[in-house]
Amino acid sequence: MSQTSPNSSSIDNEYFRPQYQHESFAGELVGNPYYDDLTLALSMANAADKVTSARFGALDLHVEDKPDHTPVTDADRATERALRNVIAENRPGDSVYGEELGKAESTGRRWILDPIDGTKNFVRGVPVWATLIGLEVNHELVVGVVSSPFLHNRWFAVRDGGAYMGMDIDHASRIHVSNVNELKHASMSLSSLSGWKERGDRDKLIELTDNLWRLRGFGDFWQYMLVAQGAIDIAAEPELDLYDMAALVPIVTEAGGQFTDLEGNPGPWGGCGLATNGQLHAKVLEYLR
C-alpha cells in the first residue's frame, strides 16, 4: 500500500512548495559587512568549477587512498590549490583549513574548504559532488558557498543576508526551509548506515525513520541543500569533519533551518551533523541523542 503523499489536502497548510524565480539581490546585499567576502567566495567557486569540471570523467584521473581509507584525486588537490591561490592573493592575512593541503588554526578569519565533497561519486562518475567554501570570523560561520557544476546549481548565504540558490548574486532565488511540523509528514535523507552502527545509534535511527513519511539517500552536501531549499526536511550524518559542514551551516540557518551536532550543540564543531527545518529539530533529537 502506498503512503499518503504530503501533497494531500489534509496537510496543505504545512507542506512547503518551493518556487524559484531568478533575480538580482545585489542591491539588497551590498550593505552587508560580509558582502565582499561573499563575492570573493563566489569567484572562488568559479575557479573551482573550472578545475573540477575539466577533470570529471577524465581517463587519466589519478586516485589514491588516504590513511582514513577515503579516496583523493589529483582533482581534489588541484582544486584546493586553486582556492588557496585566490585567498592568498585577496586575503593574505586569512588562515585556511582545507581537507587536502593543511588544517590551519584560525587567525580570527579562516576559510574552510572541501575541494570536492563527494569524491567517491566523482571517482565513479556520479555527478553529485560539489566544492564547499566557508568563511569563519571569530568562530562564527558568516559565508557559505556550495557549487555543484554537474547538478548545474549553486547555493550560497551570508550572515544576516539570507540564503540563495543560483550561480551568482545577480541570478539567484531566495530559498527557505519547509513548514512541515510533524514527523509523519517529514522527508529525511542519509548518506549511509555504517557510521550509525559504529556510533551505536543505528537502532535509534531506524526507529526514527519508521516514523517518517519518506526516507531517501541523497547524501553528502546535497541533502543539506535540499533541506535549505525546502525540498526535504531532515538530513543527518554521524561522522563529519569541519570542512564537510562549515559551508553548509550558513546556508541552512539563513534559510530558516537549524544545524547542530547530534547532541543539539549549534554549528559544525561536534564531528557530526543534523540539519532540519527547525520545527522538527527537537523531535528528531529525541530519537538520536
C-alpha distance from residue 225 to each of 107, 211, 234 (Å): 28, 23, 11
By residue count, the chain amounts to 289
CB 42 within 8 A of CB 169: yes
Is residue 76 marked as binding? no
CB 278 within 8 A of CB 258: yes
Is residue 201 marked as binding? no
Q: Which residues pair with 153 in a beta bridge?
A: 148
128 C-beta neighbours (distance < 10 Å), count: 16
Contacts (Cβ under 8 Å, ≥6 apart) of 233: 177, 178, 180, 186, 187, 188, 227, 276, 277, 280
Residue that the C-alpha cell 555527478 belongs to: 127
Is residue 36 marked as binding? no
Q: How far apart are CA 106 and CA 88, in angstroms?
A: 15
Is residue 117 marked as binding? yes
Is residue 254 marked as binding? no
Q: Which residues are annotated as a binding site for Mg(2+)?
A: 99, 114, 116-117, 244
Q: Which residues are annotated as a binding site?
A: 99, 114, 116-117, 244
